[in-house]
Amino acid sequence: MRRFCVFLHPISMEDKANGLRQKTIYLIRHGETDYNRRGIVQGSGVDSDLNDMGRAQAMAFFQAYQHVPFSKIYISSLKRTYQTVEPFIELGLPHEILPGLNEISWGVMEGKVPNSIDNEYYRNLIESWAAGQTSMTTDGGESPEEVAARQKPAIDTILSRPDEEPVLVAMHGRAMRILLSWLTGRSLANMDQFEHSNLCLYKLRYEYDTKQCVIEQANDSTHLLTLALA
């Protein structure tokens, strides 16, 4: 089933009056880790913890969105996503681990501080993906096409439960780019148009009747402004 997405189109009063069935998805990237801060590649093979800034980001997001009546939380199998939404879980909200939401595997690059050769290799890989060669992988890693293939059953699981509304989904940077690409009907080659930062928010609305997904907020980090002022 192909899904399309339109940017920044909030639901109208007419839509509400027509009773369109929908699911609101608050999609966030995990908070900062020391690996993020130090520029070390994590991927799915490094199960790192949030650092002090990441925990502060998690609390800032919680304080900004604790009023939202989330019915379910979905996370990857990597603990940095659990730690990001832990304040909500401590309220008693149910959560479920979906490994299909895990970060891309960067293979031999994971856990390394990139040197100049690694950086050139990475740039070439990103350029190849942007040129449409999305089956390419790092040595021992995953391609964007492989990541998209494992994401689809996870998203189908979330969408198969229309009574769970709204939901909070915590995942990872590159995986988020890939997800937003195929979920919007775009080529994976265009994934880098979806910018992100630690604990940014993409607010999505999936309409069951039209099978369209609408992005209402993109790369929103206004909830972190209080940290910048501290």
Annotated binding-site residues read 29-36, 80
Q: Which residues are annotated as a binding site for substrate?
A: 29-36, 80
Bond prior to 166 in cis (omega within 30° of 0): yes
> Does 216 qualify as catalytic in the annotation?
no
Q: What is the spatial distance between Cα 142 and Cα 123, in angstroms, rounded to a whole number?
A: 16
Taking the C-alpha atoms of residue 210 and residue 185, their distance in angstroms, rounded to an integer, is 14
Contact 211, 3 (CB under 8 A): yes
Q: List CB contacts of 75: < 8 A, sequence separation 6 or more.
A: 81, 82, 84, 85, 95, 96, 97, 98, 101, 169, 170, 171
Q: In the annotation, is 196 catalytic?
A: no
Q: Pick the catalytic residue: 14, 86, 103, 165? A: 103
Residues tagged active-site: 30, 103
